[in-house]
């Protein structure tokens, strides 16, 4: 996984673009359709699933006293989220597979850039949730806690992938951020923080920060994958959309992933993932 | 909002950044005000802004859960406090957005995005449901499970069949958690076994397993609380603990929600295990085990307020205790537990201040102890007059019995059957602050308690009060008197919170009306002086609890969305008109008005009318209720039956009938028993949404409301108020205020005082000092009066040698009467006195010597008093038997002496004639005091009996005939017609005390009590002086008659008379109307 992250960090073209002073900060991700990037992405995504599967297997074994074979579970899990092949229904493709890959992309980008560039979040990422096991599951795609000049801050990510309706999807993501603003997601974040992420914030920081620090310091990161041929232009000023959010401009970081071959890209990532399963299974066997 | 007990929770909050206890209290109160405002259509002005409230409370929840609920190294009390505040914060901000408004509806998703809301396949995944369960569990952890239930009522029903094993487990967990939080009092669905489906995703398997362990633990714990298997409980607990450990170890962030619920449930299980009644110290006894098993089904937990008593005084009870808890905070259950153990090897006595309370306690305890074999609960609620009725004796009290009675009744029992008290194991003294009451009642109560201590070697006392501020003094006394340890429980814990405020008018509107006055009158005739104006109501509320701090920051203003009426009046000086606003008659109108609106909005309103018992009827008449169909429910039919009984006794339609049928009940002393029963039941069961009540509600009756309105702060009206009248009045108001909030129905109550004179408020000028001045009672947390001995002055005077026979106070006279010469001779008087609270208070280090000195002094002045009274010394025995004051007995003896040697009258009517004859021959003022007290006879045909001059004989005759009509069972309307010389039909109104019905009811209540005592005194004179050879029947009151049968005795001291009970008309020739609800208790087999 580390190799994959490094490969992607070296290959992706990340561009902070701020043409939209009335609405948001834009980060454009280029070169992601390159073959090396796709392979690395497949490796990373399966690695992430493998980590989850390993944890889940250990939990299941302790819970139920039954063990499962890692390789089989990994393969089943990968196939569950992206399908056994690319011969899938359009519905599965558009509402399950592609959005899941996009969701993981957000996670990956945070891993790539969080420490180093301050591009996606301004400081070091202390901890982040893993993507949902099921893309349509209610809940925030990505919750990460990072170092904001010595204080904890929260990055909330929401990834979308749509060939022709990217604008609608961006609206949908912003609507979710709006729910965070309006505290309708408080319980989810609170429960996640108390039971998981809190422990990753350095103790001396945690003890001097009021509870629910994210009400003071948070950042929204919509990740939008879209077809380059579509009418969607991420540089368009969108004050009606982003202006409703209760964070400042530099905390509305929209990540745009423009894809020349929208469906082809996701198919290739899915293929790369299926190929990567064998590597992880072999590693696990060793 | 917060009582002292809940305030301590705030004081124990952990030190966390941004968390200040006073701010937390203030903001929680504001949130409550906002909830209330939303509930009743008000708006809140002043105080913290809604976004600040929401933001702060959400942070509070998170901080407290993370730092005080979940960590293991937090003390139990601290955890309870933190859980309470977190639960309040969470529940008050539920479903509200940043601005405090209701959360908006979701927008539609884009066309190629799956609607993820459709994916929420079980309810626990829905944020509102999750948070409701979370807050409910936090309440359970805090010891307020009664508050938790309310949150669950908002959870929507399951939408239908679920389609995955995880969803089945999720639904099952919700059902199990709900049943546990509800303590299984509501039916719960059967457990759904979680089966791991083949090929299911790992995550789903994990979530399903975690949820099924939550369900299993919740169910097993509930079963265990209700008497279930210990091994199954331990196994399920172990599984839940393991589940938490697994999820924590795995660091599995995806399962944070199920982990959260699991951890909360573990805490809730820990807390409720500590309070499970099956875990309380218990005697090894099969009967008790059977009772416990049955009781744990209906009441598996003791409230936190009772834990100390249970742990330190049970089994046994092995210690005395004085428990000071607010009304509705669990005193009765503490008493029940004590009684349930005491009756296993003795009997229990339950002292209460009134007969009405005796009836309620008997009913409640009978039900609660129904599974305790060989236990019967009996109430002795007849009059307090001297009687030899077999049904009124406890001579043959059986082990296992519970006897409920007033101290006066107990005084009779102690005189007649002292041997029965040898086996008394427990004396519960409810509302024990009675000891501090003047007019002789307090002295009797105190001497009865001391007498019991002297007569019952193994007794343990359980003193209960909602008012006593110094239970420690009582326990020190009990320890000194018995050498047995005693526990003071002083926890102002209560299961509800009350927002306290003063109701007034909106000042801006008032100002506008004033400024617009010339225009308003412009087109009216010059002779028109008054104009009614509508001014919206406003209420000033305190954000901390009691009004102890008058700083603006502690208050907020509630603007009500409806208006009241005031009078705009003009007067002219020369050619200039002057305008002013007056509040003529506003108080009762406002009370009725506000009660009507709030009831209409779903509140259960108690409108308290402290000044005049008749105003309760006029206020009730002005409450606009809604029609209630009584025949539609069993409760309604029972209310209807009571009303029919009342009409039977009244002989005319009762005004209560109309009131209750439109949802308004009345609680006043100007009611027949059946009317009172109908009123209480209608309000308790929600048939009446408003109860207009007077001070009669003060003593212990369980009638909680969601809103209490106090109409004025003047209590009663007396030209010569007692010295402690102010404290007692305050106690009465606080008692009313304390009734707001109903556990499980409304966790938060509202109490508004409407000042005697109208007040106004505006946001810019909250007018706090003036409001405070108008309603000073709000400064007090709970009614608190010191437990003071009424014997104190007697003891001091006796020890100082300054006791003077001719100048004995009522209390001193009662004390002297209680300790007759015979008791002095066999040292009983000293044994009683040295165990009395008063002697202990005066001379804690030398009670024996002090008691001896008091006895000596008391007997000296008593004998001196008797010697100067021209009455035989045995008349002190008559006073002792009859409960009459010694001067009254002397006077009665002087008047009756010529008749004592005669043959007794043949029948009961002749006895009354004799009694009236005796009264007539007494000095008029003494007879008036003995029979009428301060009752005004104005408007009655025998009003001359109130005069200073000797009344004409026909006045006594008219009075005698009135009493005879009552004895014969004639209707109240007939008696009223005769007594007030009014032609039928009789006006049924009770809005003014001078009207025929209220006048007659007052007469009957007063005379039945006083004439009964006099009749008992006459009977006792007969017994002492001459013995008797034929049955003596002395009518005393309509519901009981004294019937003494015996044989002439030779000389003195006499043998005890053979007693019989007058069970039917055949014996005494008079009807015995049955008193609904109390009759069984009054007539034990």
* The pTM of the whole model exceeds 0.95: no
Is A205 touching B (CB cutoff 8 A)?
no
Res. B542: pLDDT tops 90: no
Is B247 touching A (CB cutoff 8 A)?
yes
DSSP B903: P
Q: What is the pLDDT at residue A116?
A: 56
Q: Count of CB atoms within 10 A of residue B455's CB?
A: 20
**B980-990: per-residue pLDDT in tens?**
999 888 888 88
State the smallest CA–CA distance between residue A79 and chain B in angstroms.
11
Is B723 touching A (CB cutoff 8 A)?
no
- CA angle, B31 as apex, B29 and B37 as ends, to 5°? 105
Chain B residues near residue A160 by CB distance under 8 angstroms: 113
Q: Do A198 and B66 touch (CB under 8 A)?
A: yes
CA–centroid distance for B258 within its chain: 42
Which residue in the set B18, B109, B242 is minimally distant from A210, CB to CB? B18
Is A175 touching B (CB cutoff 8 A)?
yes
**Interface list for A 28-67 with B (CB within 8 A):** 52-53, 55-60, 62-64
CA closest to A75 among chain B residues: B201
Which residue in the set A63, A165, A188 is minimally distant from B112, CB to CB? A165
Q: What is the pLDDT at residue B1068?
A: 42
pLDDT-derived band at B736 (thresholds 50, 70, 90) equals confident
| CB of B777 closer than 8 Å to CB of B733 | yes
Which residue in the set B117, B120, B257 is minimally distant from A191, CB to CB? B257
Res. B341: pLDDT tops 90: yes
Q: Do B134 and A187 touch (CB under 8 A)?
A: yes
Which residues fall within 8 angstroms of residue B238, CB to CB, at 6 or more apart? none
Tell me how long chain A is.
286
Res. B893: pLDDT tops 60: yes
Q: Do B109 and A172 touch (CB under 8 A)?
A: yes
**Chain A to chain B, count of Cβ pairs less than 8 Å apart?**
166
State the smallest CA–CA distance between residue A190 and chain B in angstroms.
6
Res. B1059: pLDDT tops 50: no
CA closest to A55 among chain B residues: B250
- Find which of A68, A191, A227 to mutate to test the B interface (most B CBs within 10 Å of its CB): A191
Q: What is the pLDDT at residue B101?
A: 57
Is B246 touching A (CB cutoff 8 A)?
yes
Q: Do B119 and A133 touch (CB under 8 A)?
A: no
Question: Counting Cβ atoms within 10 Å, is residue B1053 exposed (0-12), middle (13-18) or buried (19+)?
Answer: exposed
Res. B505: pLDDT tops 90: yes
Q: Do A52 and B55 touch (CB under 8 A)?
A: no
Is B127 touching A (CB cutoff 8 A)?
yes
**Interface list for B 3-32 with A (CB within 8 A):** 16-19
**B220-264: per-residue pLDDT in tens?**
999 999 999 899 999 999 999 999 999 988 876 778 889 999 999
Q: Do A59 and B252 touch (CB under 8 A)?
A: yes
Q: What is the pLDDT at residue A113?
A: 65
Closest residue by Cα to residue B356 from B728, B671, B734: B671
**Mean pLDDT, chain B, integer:** 83
CA closest to A81 among chain B residues: B201
| CB of B1007 closer than 8 Å to CB of B963 | yes
Q: Do A168 and B111 touch (CB under 8 A)?
A: yes
Q: What is the pLDDT at residue B173?
A: 94
The residue ranking higher by pLDDT, B787 or A22, is B787
- Strands (DSSP E) found in B668-712: 690-693, 707-711
Q: Say if residue B1052 is preceded by a cis peptide, omega within 30 of 0.
A: no
Chain B residues near residue A246 by CB distance under 8 angstroms: 98
Tell me how long chain B is.
1085
Q: Do B250 and A59 touch (CB under 8 A)?
A: yes
State the smallest CA–CA distance between residue A60 and chain B in angstroms.
6
Q: Count of CB atoms within 10 A of residue A91's CB?
A: 10
Closest residue by Cα to residue B1072 from B979, B913, B915, B966: B966
State the smallest CA–CA distance between residue B164 and chain A in angstroms.
14
State the smallest CA–CA distance between residue B491 and chain A in angstroms.
31
Chain B residues near residue A141 by CB distance under 8 angstroms: none
Strand B555-573 relative to strand B530-542: parallel, antiparallel, unpaired?
antiparallel
Is B166 touching A (CB cutoff 8 A)?
no
State the smallest CA–CA distance between residue B44 and chain A in angstroms.
21
| CB of B1033 closer than 8 Å to CB of B1068 | yes
The residue ranking higher by pLDDT, B161 or B1032, is B161
Distance between CA B590 and CA B583 in Å, rounded? Answer: 10
Res. B717: pLDDT tops 60: no
Is A237 touching B (CB cutoff 8 A)?
no
| CB of B113 closer than 8 Å to CB of A159 | no
pLDDT-derived band at B700 (thresholds 50, 70, 90) equals low
Which residue in the set A99, A183, A198 is minimally distant from B54, CB to CB? A183
Q: What is the pLDDT at residue B20?
A: 79
Which residue in the set A196, A215, A246 is minimally distant from B256, CB to CB? A196
Is A230 touching B (CB cutoff 8 A)?
no
Q: What is the pLDDT at residue B987?
A: 87
Q: What is the pLDDT at residue B33?
A: 83
**B1007-1042: per-residue pLDDT in tens?**
877 888 888 888 888 878 765 544 454 444 444 444
pLDDT-derived band at B1043 (thresholds 50, 70, 90) equals very low
Q: What is the pLDDT at residue A241?
A: 87
**Interface list for B 183-202 with A (CB within 8 A):** 196, 199, 201-202
**B585-639: per-residue pLDDT in tens?**
899 999 999 999 999 998 999 999 887 777 889 999 999 888 899 999 999 999 9
How far lies B305's CA from each of A180, B337, B494, in Å? Answer: 40, 13, 8
Query: For B133-143, b where at least 16 C-beta lie within 10 A, e where not — what string?
Result: bbbbbbbbbbb
Q: Do A130 and B253 touch (CB under 8 A)?
A: yes
**B639-674: per-residue pLDDT in tens?**
999 999 999 999 999 999 999 999 999 998 888 989
pLDDT-derived band at B1045 (thresholds 50, 70, 90) equals very low
Q: What is the pLDDT at residue B1079?
A: 30
Is A141 touching B (CB cutoff 8 A)?
no
Which residue in the set A77, A175, A190 is minimally distant from B107, CB to CB? A175
pLDDT-derived band at B14 (thresholds 50, 70, 90) equals confident
Q: What is the mean pLDDT of residues B272-290?
A: 94
Q: What is the pLDDT at residue B976?
A: 95
Chain A residues near residue B110 by CB distance under 8 angstroms: 162, 165, 168-169, 171-172
Q: What is the pLDDT at residue B118?
A: 43
CA closest to A170 among chain B residues: B110
Q: What is the mean pLDDT of residues B257-277?
A: 95
| CB of B328 closer than 8 Å to CB of B702 | yes
| CB of A96 closer than 8 Å to CB of A86 | no
Q: What is the pLDDT at residue B712?
A: 87
pLDDT tens for chain A, 286 residues: list them: 888 888 888 888 888 777 677 788 898 998 999 999 999 999 999 998 898 888 888 898 888 887 778 888 899 889 988 999 999 999 889 888 998 898 888 888 888 765 556 778 888 888 888 776 554 455 677 888 888 888 889 999 998 899 988 999 999 899 999 988 887 788 888 888 888 777 788 888 877 777 788 888 999 999 999 999 999 999 888 888 888 899 988 899 999 999 999 999 999 999 999 999 988 877 766 6
Q: What is the pLDDT at residue A190?
A: 86
Chain B residues near residue A77 by CB distance under 8 angstroms: 201-202
**Interface list for B 53-82 with A (CB within 8 A):** 54-55, 58-63, 65-67, 70
Is B241 touching A (CB cutoff 8 A)?
no
SS3 A143: strand
Q: Count of CB atoms within 10 A of residue A7's CB?
A: 17
Which residues fall within 8 angstroms of residue B551, CB to CB, at 6 or more apart? none
Closest residue by Cα to residue A257 from A6, A43, A8: A8
């Amino acid at each position: 996984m580390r190799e994959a992250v490094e490969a992607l960090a070296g290959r992706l073209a990340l561009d902070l673009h701020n043409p939209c002073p009335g609405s948001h900060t834009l980060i454009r991700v280029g070169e992601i359709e390159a073959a090396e990037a796709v392979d690395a992405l497949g490796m990373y995504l399966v690695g992430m699933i493998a980590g989850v599967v390993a944890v889940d297997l250990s939990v299941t074994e302790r819970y139920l006293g039954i063990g499962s074979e890692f390789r089989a579970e990994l393969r089943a899990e990968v196939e569950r989220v992206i399908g056994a092949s690319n011969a899938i229904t359009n519905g599965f493709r558009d509402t399950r597979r592609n959005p899941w890959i996009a969701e993981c992309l957000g996670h990956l980008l945070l891993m790539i850039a969080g420490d180093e560039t301050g591009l996606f979040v301004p400081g070091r990422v202390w901890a982040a949730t893993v993507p949902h096991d099921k893309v349509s599951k209610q809940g925030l795609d990505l919750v990460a806690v990072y170092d904001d000049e010595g204080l904890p801050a929260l990055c909330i990510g929401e990834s979308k992938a749509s060939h022709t309706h990217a604008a609608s999807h961006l609206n949908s993501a912003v609507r979710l951020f709006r729910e965070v603003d309006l505290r309708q997601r408080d319980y989810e974040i609170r429960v996640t923080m108390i039971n998981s992420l809190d422990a990753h914030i350095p103790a001396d920081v945690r003890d001097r920060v009021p509870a629910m620090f994210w009400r003071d310091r948070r950042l929204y990161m919509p990740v939008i994958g879209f077809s380059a041929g579509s009418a969607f232009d991420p540089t368009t000023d969108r004050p009606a959309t982003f202006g409703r959010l209760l964070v400042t401009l530099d905390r509305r970081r929209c990540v745009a992933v423009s894809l020349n071959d929208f469906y082809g890209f996701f198919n290739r990532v899915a293929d790369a993932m299926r190929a990567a399963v064998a590597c992880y299974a072999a590693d696990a066997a060793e | 909002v917060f009582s002292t007990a809940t305030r301590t929770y705030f004081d124990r909050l952990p030190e966390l950044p941004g968390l200040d206890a006073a701010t937390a209290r203030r903001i929680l109160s504001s949130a409550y005000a906002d909830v209330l405002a939303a509930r009743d259509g008000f708006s809140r002005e002043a105080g913290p802004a809604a976004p600040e409230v929401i933001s702060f409370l959400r942070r509070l929840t998170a901080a407290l859960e993370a730092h005080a609920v979940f960590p293991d190294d937090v003390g139990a009390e601290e955890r309870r406090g933190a859980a309470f505040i977190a639960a309040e914060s969470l529940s008050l901000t539920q479903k509200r957005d940043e601005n405090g408004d209701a959360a908006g509806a979701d927008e539609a998703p884009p066309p190629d995005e799956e609607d993820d809301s459709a994916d929420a396949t079980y309810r626990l995944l829905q944020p509102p449901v999750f948070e409701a369960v979370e807050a409910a569990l936090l309440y359970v952890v805090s010891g307020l499970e009664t508050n938790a239930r309310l949150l669950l009522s908002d959870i929507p029903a399951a939408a239908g069949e679920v389609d995955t094993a995880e969803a089945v487990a999720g639904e099952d967990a919700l059902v199990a958690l709900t049943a546990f939080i509800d303590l299984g009092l509501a039916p719960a669905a059967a457990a759904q076994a979680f089966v791991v489906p083949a090929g299911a995703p790992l995550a789903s398997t994990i979530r399903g397993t975690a949820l099924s362990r939550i369900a299993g633990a919740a169910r097993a714990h509930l079963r265990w609380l209700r008497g279930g298997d210990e091994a199954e409980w331990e196994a399920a607990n172990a599984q839940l603990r393991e589940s938490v450990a697994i999820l924590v170890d795995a660091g599995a962030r995806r399962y944070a929600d199920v982990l959260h619920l699991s951890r909360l449930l573990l805490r809730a299980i820990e807390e409720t295990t500590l309070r499970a009644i099956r875990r309380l110290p218990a005697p090894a006894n099969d009967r008790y085990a059977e009772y416990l098993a049955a009781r744990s089904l209906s009441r598996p937990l003791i409230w936190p307020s009772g834990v100390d008593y249970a742990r330190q005084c049970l089994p046994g009870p092995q210690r005395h205790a004085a428990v000071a808890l607010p009304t509705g905070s669990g005193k009765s259950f503490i008493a029940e537990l004590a009684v349930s153990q005491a009756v296993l090897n003795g009997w229990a006595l339950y002292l209460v201040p009134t007969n009405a309370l005796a009836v309620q306690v008997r009913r409640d305890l009978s039900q609660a102890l129904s599974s305790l074999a060989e236990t019967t609960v009996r109430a002795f609620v007849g009059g307090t007059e001297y009687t030899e009725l077999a049904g009124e004796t406890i001579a043959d009290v059986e082990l296992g019995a519970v006897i409920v009675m007033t101290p006066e009744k107990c005084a009779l029992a102690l005189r007649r059957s002292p041997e029965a008290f040898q086996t008394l194991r427990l004396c519960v003294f409810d509302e024990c602050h009675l000891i501090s009451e003047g007019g002789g009642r307090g002295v009797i109560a105190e001497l009865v308690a001391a007498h019991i201590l002297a007569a019952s070697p193994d007794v343990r006392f359980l003193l209960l009060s909602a008012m006593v501020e110094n239970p420690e003094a009582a326990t020190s006394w009990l320890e000194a008197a018995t050498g047995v340890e005693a526990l003071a429980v002083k926890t102002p814990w209560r299961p509800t919170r009350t927002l306290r405020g003063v109701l007034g008018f909106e000042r801006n509107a008032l100002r506008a009306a004033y400024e617009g006055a010339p225009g308003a009158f412009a087109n009216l005739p010059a002779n028109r002086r008054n104009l009614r104006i509508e001014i919206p109501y406003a209420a000033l509320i305190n954000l901390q609890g009691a009004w102890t701090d008058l700083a603006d920051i502690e208050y907020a203003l509630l603007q009500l969305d409806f208006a009241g009426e005031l009078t705009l009046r003009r007067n002219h000086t020369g050619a200039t008109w002057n305008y002013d606003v007056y509040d003529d008659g506003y108080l009762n109108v406002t009370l009725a008005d506000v009660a009507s609106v709030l009831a209409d909005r779903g509140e259960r309103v108690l409108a308290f009318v402290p000044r005049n018992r008749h105003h309760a009827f006029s206020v009730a008449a002005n409450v606009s209720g809604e029609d209630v169909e009584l025949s539609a429910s069993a409760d309604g039919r029972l209310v209807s039956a009571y009303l029919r009984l009342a009409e039977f006794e009244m002989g005319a339609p009762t005004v209560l009938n109309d009131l209750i049928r439109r949802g308004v009940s009345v609680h006043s002393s100007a009611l027949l028993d059946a009317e009172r029963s109908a009123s209480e039941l209608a309000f308790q069961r929600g048939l009446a949404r408003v109860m207009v009540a007077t001070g009669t509600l003060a003593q212990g009756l369980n009638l909680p409301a969601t809103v209490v309105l106090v109409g004025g702060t003047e209590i009663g009206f007396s030209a010569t108020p007692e010295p402690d009248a102010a404290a007692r009045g305050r106690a009465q108001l606080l008692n009313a205020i304390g009734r707001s909030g109903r556990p499980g129905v409304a966790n938060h109550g509202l109490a508004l005082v409407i000042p005697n004179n109208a007040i106004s408020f505006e946001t810019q000028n909250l007018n706090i000092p003036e409001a405070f001045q108008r309603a000073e009672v709000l400064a007090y947390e709970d009614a608190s009066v010191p437990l003071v001995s009424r014997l104190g002055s007697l003891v001091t005077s006796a020890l100082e040698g300054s006791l003077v026979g001719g100048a004995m106070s009522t209390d001193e006279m009662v004390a002297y009467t209680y300790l007759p010469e015979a008791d002095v001779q066999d040292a009983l008087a000293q044994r009683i006195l040295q165990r009395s609270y008063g002697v202990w208070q005066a001379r804690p280090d030398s009670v024996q010597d002090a008691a001896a000195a008091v006895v000596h002094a008391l007997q000296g002045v008593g004998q001196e008093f008797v010697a100067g009274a021209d009455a035989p010394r045995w008349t002190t025995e008559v006073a002792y038997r009859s409960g009459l004051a010694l001067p009254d007995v002397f006077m009665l003896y002087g008047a009756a002496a010529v008749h004592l040697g005669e043959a007794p009258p043949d029948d009961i009517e002749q006895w009354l004639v004799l009694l009236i004859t005796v009264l007539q021959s007494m000095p008029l003022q003494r007879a008036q005091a003995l029979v009428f007290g301060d009752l005004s006879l104005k408007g009655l045909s025998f009003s001359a009996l109130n005069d200073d001059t000797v009344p004409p004989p026909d006045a006594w005759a008219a009075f005698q005939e009135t009493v005879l009509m009552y004895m014969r069972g004639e209707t109240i309307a007939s008696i009223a017609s005769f007594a007030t010389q009014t032609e039928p039909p009789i006006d049924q109104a009770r809005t003014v005390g001078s009207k025929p019905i209220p006048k007659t009811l007052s007469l009957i209540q007063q005379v039945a009590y006083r004439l009964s005592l006099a009749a008992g005194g006459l009977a006792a004179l007969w017994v002492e002086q001459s013995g008797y050879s034929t049955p003596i029947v002395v009518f005393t009151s309509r519901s009981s008659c004294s019937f003494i049968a015996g044989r002439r005795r030779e000389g003195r001291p006499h043998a005890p008379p053979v007693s019989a009970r007058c069970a039917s008309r055949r014996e005494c020739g008079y009807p015995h109307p049955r008193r609904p609800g109390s009759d069984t208790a009054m007539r034990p087999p």
